[in-house]
Structure 1
Amino acid sequence: MNFLQHIKKKYGDGNYAGDQFGGAGGHDGSGLPADNPGNFMFATGIECSYPTIEKGKVRRDQLRECGHYDRWKEDLGLVKETGLRVLRYGLPYYSIHKAPGKYDWSFADEVMNEMKRLDIVPILDLMHFGVPDWIENFQNPELPVHFADYAGAVAKRYPWVRYYTPVNEIYVTARISGKDGVWNEQLKTDKGFVTAMKHAAAASIMGTQQIAQYRNDCVIVQSESAEFTHELCATPSAQTSLDNELRFLSLDLLYANAPSATVLMYLLDNGMTRKEYDWFMAGKPPGYQIMGNDYYGRNERIKLPDGSIQTSMDVLGWYEITKDYYERYKLPVMHTETNVFEADQAVMWLHKQWISIMRMRRDGIPVLGFTWYSLIDQIDWDIQLAEVKNHVNECGLYDLDRKPRPVCEAYKNLLQEFGQITIVPHAEMLEITDRPARLKVAM
């Protein structure tokens, strides 16, 4: 007899004792997400942007415009119905923080209590494109101090929350408010951009400091837009080269990563002092840091020789662009936002994003989670909320009547197939610890 015949005679033909414990007969990772801390985090989010337009006269509150204030309990139920455990959720900072030291927790308490009851894990978004009226806008140098007080108050009030995004998309906040002239201060200057950038980044850092005092094992998921401009010119312009470097600026300041000499000169030319720069470069904020990359096909642009811009939709894609960010910061990654505005293309877009994530995982890069953003459709995001047109963007898992779109069923199928995979292979041995964050992130 050969060795296989001997094995079969003694132990049988496959299905060997013990194989179910991680061997050939072990679990393949399929099934809806469970509560294992080492498991991959499948998420959705509830769109909560609230910038002002028309020189501060109009507040674009997506929680109101999309009906969440009236249907919040139903919306949280849909998260559970979809099979998800993780939710990117933004409390309305502008309406909670009434004045220094004064807060209105009435809406927040109701929602947070229901979230806790449903065992939904929130990634709590504390500032999403806007500030309270009394702070005015992102040019206010007192913003970091006021926001730090608010972040500490939230962490103290909801001590069971571990995951936070202190300031959502700092780069986008600063660009659209200070350089593009669309939101909040509506400036169109480099100095306006740099000022908004340093205030929002400092707010995130100081907010994280306060959160860590109340939750010393906090996990900070820094959601940031992953962008790139392709230029179809034989001689690329200095401005495009600068723009492709500035997309890293918020994370450079946040993670104490020295930018290029070109960017540093740009900062110093536009209002950042040497002392301010040194303050940012002193070190990373506390807590366990996750680099969240938001990717929409429209994040990539093609600049033609005549200077016009085309939306290129997925030239490099999330994989290639996020890999650039990972190589720069060497931090764990999460795909924190994606969608398309055309409901009939959403299923294919979801599958493309997931394929990118699987490829990233195969390359050995730790990807902690994925987010379809958002749970329900949005309003006027095709024009970046610049005007009140009440145009519905069909990008949600559910429409505004809370009826599922085809992408919802596709996401459920994805959850059934991959819902219990771990962050990296053999992550059972490397689960997210519940000990306080202690070590500096060092290479």
Structure 2
Amino acid sequence: MAKSFLTHIQDHFGDGGYEGDQFGGAAGHDGSGLPTGAPGNFMFATGIECSYPTIAGGTIRRDLLAETDHYNRYKEDLGLVKEMGLKVLRYNLPYYLIQKAPGKYDWEFADKAMAEIRRLGITPILDLMHFGVPDWIGNFQNPELPVFFAEYCGAVARRYPWVRFYTPVNEIYVTARASAKDGIWNEQLKDDRAFITAMKHITAASIMGTQQIAKHRPDCVIVQSESAEYIHEMRAVPTPEICLINKLRFLSLDLLYAHPLDSEVLLYCLDNGMTRQELDWFMAGEPPGYQVMGNDYYGRNERIIKPDGKWCQAEDVLGWYTMTRQYYERYRKPVMHTETNTFDAKDAECWLWKQWVNVMRIRQDGIPVIGFTWYSLLDQLDWDISLAEKRLTVNACGLYDLDRKIRPVGESYKMMIREFGQITMVPYAEMFAVTSQPAILKVKV
């Protein structure tokens, strides 16, 4: 009887454990172990909650970095990131405190925090505008905002030339809606025209800020963090208002990425103050740098409206997987899960693993997800009411509580990081390791 090929292999090479297999064969690395910071590493991250909108007609500034005592305990907080085993941190420099006037800056806290981040070997995704602007700019109705903000972005890039990852403006759509349509923050308007004005100015600020960053870091990676949202209307005949809202959730990214607008959205924009010249400017092309589409997903992002007009939460009806797939198929950008949490500490561990299942599923479908973020490192305050009043109610959604004691979800995240920390951004990502070459936009063929 003829020998099996396995017998011949065994005779010549032995019974498994072949020399060379350790370089990606059957004996290659399985992806477990803490992140190494290698360029192809999947980016497990957290963030430090840093929102700073004004409320009460501009008389109160909410600053979550102050309210959670981060300014005094920043070294301790950054040490907790290191303790978690994380290499990546979404981190904000408080724009409203730093840019004192055109060309005038106060870098005192920023320099200290950035020096500690660098010393600890943490890669920051630097968030430059998080729901607010300096008092002297006023609010998002100011048409000079893109110019002032671009100057600020250039100043940051010059001062910290070692930083490569940026989120110029956090959640453009949420910023514009909460400030100018829902009447909660900053200008506190409830007007369609004000909403489109804010949307134009904030998106233009992000684009011009990115241009200035790219002047100093042509290889910049821009992680645009935007809220993934949907309203399920349980009516036999959908209302035009809800249909429009479900389309407007794409508007900020459409303008940012020069994606043609839906006809209804286009008419809404033109009816509410966007000019043809402004639209042409947005559609000229997307910003420079390597563009990553970050999708933020909380169960409360998805809502059901019943026939009587009352609302209820629709957590996980679509979920991050389905909603992100909608965004990916629209924009075809690499994806990062840039924010998630739950306010119920008892449910947090389960929520964490459910979100990770979503990430794993979408990666198995071939969609390039390069990172995951539990937001935030610490418990937050008053996000159950969207910061509308200063009640200082603790939202138990952090990896650590405000006494800097680890929560069960923090221990669970440590477990996740140990198990998956060395998986690659995409299969065979070593071939596509993040390069230092400038990004060059490709022409569609």
TM-score between both structures, scaled by the size of structure 2: 0.98
User: Which range moved further: 429-438 or 376-385?
Assistant: 429-438
Q: Is the 8 A contact 1:31 1:415 kept in 2?
A: yes
Give the fraction of aligned pairs with identical amino acids, expressed as a percent: 71
Q: Is the 8 A contact 1:377 1:395 kept in 2?
A: yes
1:428 corresponds to which residue?
A: 430
Answer yes or no: is 1:268 the counterpart of 2:308: no
* TM superposition shift of 1:192: 1.1
Q: Which amino acid aligns with 1:341?
A: F
SS at match of 1:335: strand
1:222 corresponds to which residue?
A: 224
Answer yes or no: is 1:188 the counterpart of 2:197: no
Deviations 1:79-99 (A, max 9, x none): 000000100000100010101
Deviations 1:167-203 (A, max 9, x none): 0000000000000000000000111111110100000
Gaps of 5+ in 1: none
Select 2:250's aligned residue among 248, 251, 257: 248
Counterparts of residues 133-148 of structure 1 (less than 5 Å): 133-148=135-150
Q: Is the 8 A contact 1:298 1:314 kept in 2?
A: no
Deviations 1:197-239 (A, max 9, x none): 0100000000000000011100000000000000111111111
Deviations 1:276-307 (A, max 9, x none): 11110110000000000000000001011111
Flag the 1:13–1:433 CA change in 2: closer, same or farther, 3 A: same
Select 1:68's aligned residue among 64, 70, 73: 70
Counterparts of residues 216-365 of structure 1 (less than 5 Å): 216-365=218-367
Select 1:58's aligned residue among 57, 60, 65: 60
Q: Which amino acid aligns with 1:192?
A: A
- How large is the Cα RMSD of the aligned pairs? 0.9
1:125 corresponds to which residue?
A: 127
Select 2:29's aligned residue among 21, 27, 30: 27
Select 1:157's aligned residue among 153, 159, 172: 159
* TM superposition shift of 1:311: 1.4
* TM superposition shift of 1:309: 1.6
* TM superposition shift of 1:441: 6.1
Return the alpha-carbon distance in structure 1 between the equivalents of residues 7 and 276 of structure 2.
Answer: 76
TM-score between both structures, scaled by the size of structure 1: 0.99
SS at match of 1:221: strand
* TM superposition shift of 1:9: 2.8
Q: Is the 8 A contact 1:151 1:208 kept in 2?
A: yes
Q: Which amino acid aligns with 1:430?
A: F
Which aligned segments of 4 or more residues in structure 1 are displaced greater than 4 angstroms? Answer: none
How many residues are aligned here?
Answer: 443
Counterparts of residues 379-394 of structure 1 (less than 5 Å): 379-394=381-396
Deviations 1:123-168 (A, max 9, x none): 0000000000000100000100000000000000000000000000
* TM superposition shift of 1:442: 3.6
* TM superposition shift of 1:430: 1.2
Return the alpha-carbon distance in structure 2 between the equivalents of residues 363 and 6 of structure 1.
Answer: 38
* TM superposition shift of 1:429: 1.0
Return the alpha-carbon distance in structure 2 between the equivalents of residues 334 and 14 of structure 1.
Answer: 38
Return the alpha-carbon distance in structure 2 between the equivalents of residues 178 and 157 of structure 1.
Answer: 33
